Amino acid sequence: MSRARFDVKSYPGFVQLTVLCLLILYLPLMVVAVYSFNASASIVNWEGFSLRWYADVFTGPESAKFKLAARNSFIIAITAATVATAIATLAATAMIRGGRFRLRVLSLGLISLPLMVPEIVTAVATLIFFNTIGFERGTLTILLAHIAFCIPFAYLPISARMQGIEDTYEQAALDLYATKRQAFTRVLLPLMMPGIVSGYLLAFIISLDDFIITNFVKGAGVETLPTAIFGAVKQGLKPNIMAISTMLVGFSIIMVTVSYFVGKKDN
Amino acid sequence: MAGGAAGGGGTQGDTYKEARTWLLLPTWVTLSILVLVPVLLMLVYSFLTKEFRGGVIWEFTFAAYDQFFCDRGLFGDEPCSIEWTYLNIFWRSIWQAGLATILSLVIGFPTAYFIATRPARVRPLWVFLITIPYWVNLLIRTVSMRFMLREEGPLNNFLVWSGIADAPLQMINTNFAVQIGLFYSYLPFMVLPIYAAVERYNFSLSEAAADLYASKWTTLRRIVLPAVRPGVIAGCILVFVPSLGAFLAPDLLGGAKNFMIGSLIEEQFKGNAGNWPFGAAASMILLSMVLVILMIYARQQARAGGEER
């Protein structure tokens, strides 16, 4: 019987296609990671294992440029993720603990807007906006743009988490004469922490990785890691770029893994 | 994942009912000023006159749309006949995004189905494996695809070594590379919604079909596919829409010849050669296309929801 069930569910070739799917998704990144450890200065031949290009990233002739870009990237990502997470947490509280109200659907639409508008269109629109109000392009324009499009990414895990928490905990706190503010900060917020951390990390990665919007709203001379990498790749693919890329990929994977396990915790 | 912010009903209480205006105010202010107003401003810009060193002059004109749709001859004084340059770029983008969608479906559906039929304990791990590439920097992923497809790159080495090709193939800077790049970029978007739909599918329906002597493939086509259709449609939209406006794949894999909408728009805002109103108009046309697709989708979802009840 169990054999028959298994047969009904499975289809020939699906396993192979799944393997192919994972191969397509992972192989290019793995190949670049392997080649970033290549001792050769050419990207064609393999001349043995070496950490030469990783050293080059930190001490080589282009290291100052990359360090500055990395610093900009991290400052922007930390600030944008913090602000976006705070805004998204407040919004989720209103959307999920605020009862039914007329502007609810409209607010949900507004929050989803950055996900629906194609990124290049958001980039053009944001550039036009800053240009019209005469806001000089630079780090601040990048930061503002990042805050806006990070909000939905922070909102999704936070609201999902809040939906999983019954409001009986806060009701209990209110019955015991806690003020609403206390019920929020001492009861709801700690319960939501996994969702908030998860949302923060995702917003952080989205900001850290963004290229298209950053490329449009950055001022001349201001670079983040992705725009610096893009500029370098346009000059030709060099091994030090592969080393930086591999580090950034590793960093993203660590962040997503942490976010995944934090989000799952005691759910 | 990027399919829009889901919201629950009003079953979560209304403890913060009085505060909700204040709680939502930061969101309204931020997103109105930084997304909604800019998009409206972009609409305005598409009707303004271009300034020659980038930017605009505030004079109303249809020039941008005229340039897009009308061929007025060498001296610009002839009556409007259809201008194919930009329509062709749009048409090719639609075609390439469509092909990327079909490719992703062919690979993504079996993958999603396979994952959904694994034991419940290991499914999250499989999903996680599919999710990771989505969170890896798209620029770096595209660059690594460029590395793979180079003339002296790993894929060509493999093809020559295995005897499949006699000499390295020209893959980079071709339409083929752009096609592969789009497919590779958005493949996870296809798998995840289909997986969610197949996971909810009741497999006793497949057993019933088998008991009634339906072949496996008939069961897949007539029973499974209709049941998971919402997931398939969601996956197709999540691949098609970002592919349509893609910039990195055509720019890094297609070279100068294989333009897509994204490259056309970007070019209008680079350096001094650009034409801001024209870029705004092209962006508006792209945005309208996406909104139409999303509206059809939303309407269909609403109708499907109505049928279930």
- List CB contacts (< 8 A) between A129 and chain B: 34, 37-38, 41
Average pLDDT over residues B203-207: 87
From chain A residues 29-48, the ones with a CB under 8 A of any chain B CB are: 29, 31-32, 35, 43-44
- The confidence band for B2, taking pLDDT boundaries of 50, 70 and 90, is very low
Identify all chain B residues contacting A242, using CB atoms and an 8 Å cutoff: 147
Per the structure block, which two tokens stand in for B211? 């008991």
What is the tens place of the pLDDT at every residue in A22-35?
999 999 999 999 99
What residues have CB less than 8 Å from A44, skipping those under 6 apart? B152
**Segments in chain B forming alpha helices (H):** 20-31, 37-45, 63-69, 84-116, 123-135, 138-149, 154-161, 175-200, 204-211, 216-219, 225-244, 248-253, 261-268, 276-308
Angstrom distance (rounded) from CA A49 to CA A39: 6
Which residues in chain B are contacts of A150 at CB distance < 8 A?
none
Q: Tokens 């970007």 belong to which residue? A: B266
Is the pLDDT assigned to residue A6 strictly greater than 70? no
Q: Where are the domains of chain B?
A: 90-268
- A25·B187 Cβ contact <8 A: yes
What pTM value is reported for the model?
0.89
Calpha distance B72→B74 (Å, rounded): 7
Classified as helix, coil or strand, B292 is helix
Residue of A nearest to B135 (CA): A252
Spell out which residues of chain B touch residue A101, defining contact as CB-CB under 8 Å.
Answer: 20
CB B269 within 8 A of CB A212: no
Total length of chain A: 267
Q: What are phi and psi of B82, to 5 degrees?
A: -65, 130
**pLDDT value, residue A127:** 95
Give the span between the Cα atoms of B178 and B262, in whole angstroms. 12
B24 and A95 within 8 Å at the Cβ level: the answer is: yes
* pLDDT band, residue A67 (cuts 50/70/90): very high
Residue A45's pLDDT band (cuts 50, 70, 90) = confident
B132: closest chain A residue by CA: A253
Nearest Cβ partner for A111 among B27, B37, B276: B27
Structure-token pair, residue B177 = 């590379």
Q: What's the distance, CA A48 to chain centroid? A: 34
Sign of the CA dihedral B82, B87, B89, B91? negative
Q: Which residue of A has its CA nearest to B185?
A: A25
- Residues B8/B135/A218/B180 CA torsion (nearest 10 deg): -120
For domain B90-268, is the CATH number 1.10.1040.10?
Answer: no
Name every chain B residue with its beta carbon within 8 A of the beta carbon of A253.
132, 135-136
Strand partners of residue B71: B81
pLDDT at A238 over 80: yes
Spatial neighbors of B145 by CB under 8 A, at least 6 apart, are: A28, B177, B180, B181, B184, B252, B253
Question: Which among B1, B4, B245 has the least Cβ separation from residue A120?
Answer: B245
Enumerate long-range contacts of B37-42, CB under 8 Å, 24 or more apart.
B37/A129, B38/A122, B38/A125, B38/A126, B38/A128, B38/A129, B39/A117, B39/A121, B39/A122, B39/A125, B39/B287, B41/A125, B41/A128, B41/A129, B41/A132, B42/A121, B42/A124, B42/A125, B42/A128, B42/B280, B42/B283, B42/B284
Strands (E), A85-221: none
Q: What is the pLDDT of residues B87-144, one digit of tens each?
A: 999 999 999 999 999 999 999 999 999 999 999 999 999 999 999 998 899 999 999 9
Q: What percent of chain A has pLDDT over 70?
A: 96
pLDDT tens digit sequence for A144-180: 999 999 999 999 989 988 888 888 888 888 888 888 8
Q: Are B132 and B106 in contact (CB under 8 A)?
A: no
**Cβ B4–A115 below 8 Å, yes or no?**
yes
pLDDT class for B307, splitting at 50, 70, 90?
low
Instruction: Report the run of H or E that residue B48 belongs to, with start and end.
Output: strand B48-50
Chain A (45-84) residues lying within 8 Å, Cβ to Cβ, of chain B? none
Rounded to whole angstroms, how far apart are CA atoms B287 and B293?
10
Task: Give the per-residue pLDDT at B42.
Answer: 96
pLDDT at B304: 74
Tokens, residue B212: 């009634």
Q: Please give the residue of chain A at the shortest CA–CA distance from B21.
A: A94
* A185-216 tens-digit pLDDT: 888 889 889 899 989 998 999 999 999 999 99
Q: What pLDDT score does B308 carry? A: 52
Q: How many CB pairs under 8 A join A and B?
A: 305
Contact state of B41 with A212 under an 8 Å Cβ cutoff: no
Residues 6 or more apart from B287 whose CB is under 8 A from it? A117, A118, A121, B39
Instruction: Report the percent of chain B where pLDDT is more than 70.
Output: 94
Model confidence at A265, pLDDT cuts 50, 70, 90, reads low
How far is CA B16 from its chain centroid? 37
* Nearest residue in A to B209, CA atom: A8
Residue B45 predicted with pLDDT over 90: yes
Separation CA A129–CA A126 (nearest Å): 5
ipTM surpassing 0.85, yes or no? yes
> To 5 degrees, how large is the angle CA B140–CA B271–CA A120?
45
- Record the tokens describing residue A239, joined without a space: 């091994």
